[in-house]
Amino acid sequence: MRGQYEQYFVDECKLYDDVLEKYKNIKLEDINGLDELRRMSIILSSNFVTMKSNADVIATRLKTSKTQFNDWCYERYRILIEIHTDLSVDLTHTRNDLKKFGDI
């Protein structure tokens, strides 16, 4: 299903792929990287929410199923929210460790 919409939302899909790749490779010691990726994931998730909320109009223009498009957006939104939540927890733990033990 990914390829079906990727051609229409090139920028969002590229950013989404970038977030996934950075998330796979992030180091817990990299506070700035954790925070930047956390922010990126929540901002990008809002793009997919906006697209999902306009699924009626977008699906009509793309001549596709509203349900399929809605599911495609929601899947990406949920993954980005999970990444954001995970990074928020990691960031909190890393900051606490730095306060407690100094630079790691």
Residues of the chain falling short of pLDDT 50 = 1
pLDDT of amino acid 104 = 52
Torsion sign (Cα): 94, 76, 4, 15: negative
Tokens of 61: 């223009």
Residues 3-21: pLDDT tens digits?
689 999 999 999 999 999 9
Residue with tokens 């790691």: 104
Distance CA 22, CA 84 (A): 12
pTM above 0.85, yes or no: yes
